Amino acid sequence: MAEPPLVEVDGLTVEARAPDGSRFPIVRDASFHIARGEVLALIGESGSGKTTIALSLLGYARPGCRISGGRIRVGETEVLSLSARDLRDLRGRRVAYVAQSAAAAFNPSRTIMAQVTEIARIHGIASSDKAETRAKKLFADLALPDPETIGRRYPHQVSGGQLQRLMAAMALIAGPELVILDEPTTALDVTTQIEVLRAFRAVVRDRGTTGVYVSHDLAVVAQMADRIVVLRDGLIREVGPTGQIITEPRHPYTQSLLAAARPRPGGGAAPDASAPSLLEVSDLSAGYGRVAVLQDIALRIPRGAALGVIGESGCGKSTLARVIAGLLPWSSGTVQLAGKALSPSIAGRDADELRRVQLVFQSADTALNPARSVARILGRPLQKFHGLSGPALRQRVVALLDLVQMPGRLADRLPGELSGGQKQRVNLARALAAEPDLILCDEVTSALDTVVGAAILELMHRLRRELGVSYMFISHDLHTVRAVCDEVMVLYAGRSVEVGTREGIETSPWHPYAQLLFSSVPELRQGWLAQRPPRPEGEVPVAGRAGPACAFFPRCPARIEPTCADVAPPLRVLAKGSTIACHRQEAELLSLS
Amino acid sequence: MNTPAAALEADAPVAPRRRRLPGIAALAGIGITLFWIAMAVFGPLIAPHEAGAIVDEDVFSPISAAFPLGTDYLGRDMLSRILWGTRYTVGVALAAAVIASGSGLLLGMSAAAWGGWLDSVISRVIDTLVAIPSKMFALVVVAAFGSTVPVLVLTAGIIYIPGAYRIARSLAVGVNALDFVRVARARGEGTFYVIREEILPNIIGPVLADFGLRFVFIVLLLSGLSFLGLGVQPPNADWGSLVRENLSGLHEGAPAVLMPALAIATLTIGVNLLIDSVSGRPRGEAG
B159 touches B136 (CB < 8 A):
no
Q: Any CB–CB contact under 8 A between B116 and chain A? A: no
Instruction: Examine residue B115 and state whether it is found in any structural domain, yes or no.
Output: yes
Residues A237-251 have a mean pLDDT of 89
How far is it, in rounded angstroms, from Cα A212 to Cα A200? 12
Q: Is the dihedral of CA A116, A121, A124, A127 positive or negative?
A: positive
Q: Who's near A136: CB < 8 A, 6+ residues apart?
A: A147, A148, A151
What pairing do the DSSP bridges indicate for beta strands A227-232 and A39-43?
Answer: parallel
Backbone φ, ψ for residue B100 (5° rounding): -65, -55
A81 touches A44 (CB < 8 A):
no
- Write down the mean pLDDT value for chain A: 85
Residues A400-427 have a mean pLDDT of 88
Distance from CA of B158 to the nearest CA of A (A): 31
Question: Domain A277-483 belongs to what topology?
Answer: Rossmann fold (3.40.50)
Q: Who's near A29: CB < 8 A, 6+ residues apart?
A: A11, A12, A13, A70, A235
Report CB contact under 8 Å: A371, B202: yes
Residue A103 pLDDT: 76
Backbone φ, ψ for residue B116 (5° rounding): 60, -140
Distance from CA of A531 to the nearest CA of B (A): 32
Single out the residue of A355, A346, A301, A303 nearest to residue A327, CA to CA: A346
How far is it, in rounded angstroms, from Cα A492 to Cα A485? 19
* ipTM reported for the complex, 2 dp: 0.78
pLDDT of residue A273 exceeding 70 = no
Residue of A362, A369, A419 lying closest to B198 (CB–CB)? A369
Report CB contact under 8 Å: A361, B183: yes
Report CB contact under 8 Å: B284, A417: yes
Domain A7-255 annotated CATH 3.40.50.300: yes
Quote the distance between the C-alpha of residue A130 and its chain's center. 38
Residue of A327, A371, A415 lying closest to B201 (CB–CB)? A371
- Across the A/B interface, how many CB contacts are shorter than 8 Å? 119
Concatenate the DSSP letters of all residues of A184-211 into one string: TTTTS-HHHHHHHHHHHHHHHHHHT-EE
Instruction: Examine residue B22 and state whether it is found in any structural domain, yes or no.
Output: no
Report CB contact under 8 Å: A370, B179: no
Residue B116 pLDDT: 87
For A185-208, write each residue's pLDDT tens digit.
877 888 888 888 888 888 888 888
Based on the structure, what is the number of domains in chain B? 1
Domain residue limits at B133: 43-277
How far is it, in rounded angstroms, from Cα A355 to Cα A436? 6
Report CB contact under 8 Å: B5, A384: no
Q: Who's near A376: CB < 8 A, 6+ residues apart?
A: none
Region class of A105: left (phi > 0), else alpha (psi between -120 and 50), else beta: alpha
Report CB contact under 8 Å: A327, B182: yes
Residue B283 pLDDT: 40
Q: How many CB atoms lie within 10 A of CB A587?
A: 7
- Contact residues on chain B for A422, CB-CB shorter than 8 A: 12, 14
Q: Pick from B183, B197, B199, B204 the residue to mutate for testing the A interface (most A CBs within 10 Å).
A: B183
Residue A271 pLDDT: 55
Q: How many CB atoms lie within 10 A of CB B27?
A: 14
Instruction: Examine residue B12 and state whether it is found in any structural domain, yes or no.
Output: no
Single out the residue of A235, A62, A46, A16 nearest to residue B287, CA to CA: A16
Backbone φ, ψ for residue A237 (5° rounding): -95, -35
- Contact residues on chain B for A362, CB-CB shorter than 8 A: 179
Does the bond joining B235 to the residue before it have cis omega, within 30 degrees of 0?
yes
Report CB contact under 8 Å: A351, B188: yes
For B204-249, write each residue's pLDDT tens digit.
888 988 998 898 888 888 888 888 878 777 777 888 888 888 878 7
Single out the residue of A81, A70, A72, A36 nearest to residue A54, CA to CA: A72
Residue A485 pLDDT: 86
> Which stretches does DSSP call E strand in A407-467?
438-442
**Chain A residue nearest residue B3, CA to CA:** A455
Q: Any CB–CB contact under 8 A between B179 and chain A? A: yes
- Contact residues on chain A for B16, CB-CB shorter than 8 A: 417
Residues A260-277 have a mean pLDDT of 63
- Contact residues on chain B for A372, CB-CB shorter than 8 A: 197, 201, 284
Distance from CA of B173 to the nearest CA of A (A): 14
**Pick from A192-206, A322-336, A390-404: least confident:** A192-206
Report CB contact under 8 Å: B286, A380: no
Residue A431 pLDDT: 92
Instruction: Examine residue B187 and state whether it is found in any structural domain, yes or no.
Output: yes
Read off the pLDDT band of A368 (50, 70, 90).
Answer: very high
Distance from CA of B186 to the nearest CA of A (A): 6
pLDDT of residue B47 exceeding 70 = yes
For A436-488, write each residue's pLDDT tens digit.
999 999 888 877 777 788 888 888 888 888 888 999 999 888 878 888 888 89
Residue B285 pLDDT: 36
Concatenate the DSSP letters of all residues of A456-499 into one string: HHHHHHHHHHHH--EEEEEES-HHHHHHH-SEEEEEETTEEEEE
Distance from CA of B23 to the nearest CA of A (A): 11
Q: Is this model's pTM higher than 0.90 or not?
A: no
For B14-30, write each residue's pLDDT tens digit.
444 445 566 788 888 88
Report CB contact under 8 Å: B12, A430: no
Does the bond joining A562 to the residue before it have cis omega, within 30 degrees of 0?
yes
Domain of B105: which CATH number? 1.10.3720.10
Instruction: Report domain extents, chain A.
Output: 7-255, 277-483, 486-593
Read off the pLDDT band of A504 (50, 70, 90).
Answer: confident
How far is it, in rounded angstroms, from Cα B91 to Cα B85? 10
For B272-283, write each residue's pLDDT tens digit.
888 887 754 434
pLDDT of residue B138 exceeding 80 = yes
Instruction: Examine residue B30 and state whether it is found in any structural domain, yes or no.
Output: no
Residue type, B75: G
**Chain A residue nearest residue B200, CA to CA:** A371
Instruction: Examine residue B10 and state whether it is found in any structural domain, yes or no.
Output: no
Long-range Cβ contacts of A348-353 (<8 Å, 24+ apart)? A349/B188, A351/A384, A351/A385, A351/B188
Residue of A259, A366, A417 lying closest to B179 (CB–CB)? A366
Residues B41-57 have a mean pLDDT of 78
Q: Which of A75-84, A304-313, B29-38, B97-106 has the highest mean pLDDT?
A: B97-106
How far is it, in rounded angstroms, from Cα B263 to Cα B93? 14
